[in-house]
Copies of this chain bind each other. A is one copy, B any other.
Amino acid sequence: MSLADDFFARHRSMLDDAVAATRSREYYSAFPESPSPRVYGESAAADGKAAFEALLGQEFPLRTPGAEGTVATEKSPYGLALEVRYPRVTPDGVPALVEAARAGLADWRDAGVEARVGIGLEVLHRLHQRVFELASAVMHTSGQAFVMAFQAGGAHALDRALEATAYAYAEMARVPATAIWEKPGRDAPVRMEKTFTVVPRGVALSIACNTFPTWNTWPGVFASLVTGNPVVVKPHPGAVLPLAITVQVCQEVLAEAGFDPNLVTLAAEDPADGIAAVLAVHPKVKLVDYTGSAAFGEWLEEHARQAVVFTEKAGVNTVVVDSTDSFKGMCFNLAFSLALYTGQMCTAPQNICVPADGIDTDEGHKSVDDVVAGLAKAFDKLVGDDARAVELLGGVVNPGVLERLSAVESAAGSVVIESREVSHPAYADAVVRTPTVAVVDASDSSTYENEWFGPVSYLIKTGSTQESIEVFRRTALERGAMTASVYSTDPSVVEAMRSAALDAGVALSENLTGQVFVNQSAAFSDFHGTGANPAANSTYTDGAYVASRFRFVQSRRHI
């Protein structure tokens, strides 16, 4: 048995559980989300931190074909100097990089489904062993607070990667490697043996984002890799380290098992190099995964014609507030969703539609001002104290977020909850802000229909809940949406919102007043994005996300 097949056998039961979970959509997680020493051991946190710190100021030990010199582009939102140097790929180096990526393709294809999936699962296993180190890397690139970086950037990202691997495995295993075909005949049956081989599309390119370098990148990387495609990982210049570690682990496992380590490569760049656009249209690049701005996502869909392109771009997420049986719970839940990671999530709500004449609640009728006061009170609890606030808010990922924060003042509407600067007790130079909320009229659509990525939200006064639903439907159809949410005690309102969500192709959360937030999606159960509205052309994870990453090629012969 080859080492790769041995990896497969070793991780087989986890894979089977994962495949089963994608079918039941029941709760499942393979990687514990609690960074507690009771789960990970007493020294895990300190060891991970030390491993992370040992990388700072160094040249990261990776070689990338076609690279020349190094580049150090990361800046921690907490002010920490990273100064990690990575091999730099410029447009001139792209041909050599793609050529090197293809060199191992035939061997990788011929290794077969189980060997490739075994390698993928072993990589996940080893990434998990480095999860504290990864959490620090995610924290100091994306700005996520540590626990969130550990969960969203570590455990949950591993679950999402496993989910994509499970889908890819199930899709490939749908067809046997060999079949005997026996057609009844007049005299004797006609018998043939048929061989079915999974053939990859070609080189896969993963273009990563700054805010979720692992969670949003691993699903595509693993789906492409285990289906036989060499993967070039193009990190965001602001968040290279988590993906450098990822590529390092991939290369280590590939080499151990006798495969070309260049089947997974890191293409770091200076932001001015613009290699994503060069890589994406290379004729041998046949798959592109992308998370980032709508503008470049649309450019990719338009120009990378030789490839299948999976994009997650941007959208405007809406909450329709009609009524609630837990006013406090609703305000808490909404405030948490807005504050979590400073609203720098593609799934964070932006627009909160409330009828201008107020809503019915368990605390009686509440005016729009009452709703604002309820939200303000919840923010006070959540982010009123600096030391607690930073654990929820994390840091501001880039200056664009600050620019939008200050632009709110001059936009339509009146600011009713102001953003404030927060001092981080551990990092003096950290840039931390609380959310701002402005009240606008339903007619101010030119303001609230734009995406204000970051801690900016609009409370939209509408004529009725019916109008609120129409605002949601129109915004989602035109601008896209990753999530939608409704609060109502009236089943007919919930039903109308469900119908609008189906029309607009948006996942809907109903009456979240507890510890589940609209921003969060659970691997194996919740789809992330739908592919059915302009915010994303694909989802984590369904059959469409994996099935076109490879083809079955058959041969047949009489026996």
Residues of A within 8 A of B (CB): 22-27, 106, 109, 171, 174-176, 179-185, 190, 192, 194-197, 199, 201, 301-302, 305, 498-499, 501-503, 505-516, 522, 525-527, 530-532, 539, 542-544, 546-548, 551-558
Contacts and interface: CB of A to CB of B under 8 A. Distances in A.
Given A512-B558, A526-B554, 8 more contacts: A185-B515, A199-B502, A507-B556, A511-B558, A526-B556, A530-B552, A530-B553, A548-B548
* Majority DSSP secondary structure for residues of A touching B: mixed
Contacts of A27: 181-184
B25 A196 contact: yes
Nearest to A29: B183
Given A25-B175, A190-B516, A522-B183, A554 B199 contact: no
A229 to B, nearest CB: 12
Nearest to A302: B305
A513 B184 CA distance: 18
B194 A525 contact: yes
The 10 closest A-B pairs by CB, nearest first: A543-B547, A25-B179, A544-B547, A508-B555, A510-B557, A532-B551, A544-B548, A547-B547, A27-B183, A531-B551
Contacts of A176: 23-25
A536 B557 CA distance: 23
A535 to B, nearest CB: 12
A69 to B, nearest CB: 35
Contact of A516 (B301, B508, B558): B558
Copies of this chain, tallied across the complex? 2
A556 B510 contact: yes
A553 B525 contact: no
A25 B525 contact: no
Contacts of A513: 558
A513 to B, nearest CB: 8
Contact of A179 (B24, B192, B507, B551): B24
A35 to B, nearest CB: 15
A274 B502 CA distance: 34
A375 B548 CA distance: 40
24 contacts: A23-B175, A25-B175, A26-B181, A106-B503, A171-B543, A174-B543, A179-B525, A181-B525, A194-B525, A197-B502, A199-B502, A502-B553, A507-B553, A507-B556, A516-B558, A526-B554, A527-B554, A530-B552, A532-B553, A542-B547, A543-B543, A544-B544, A544-B551, A547-B547
B556 A508 contact: yes
B510 A530 contact: no
A511 B557 contact: yes
A510 B195 CA distance: 11
Contacts of A499: 106
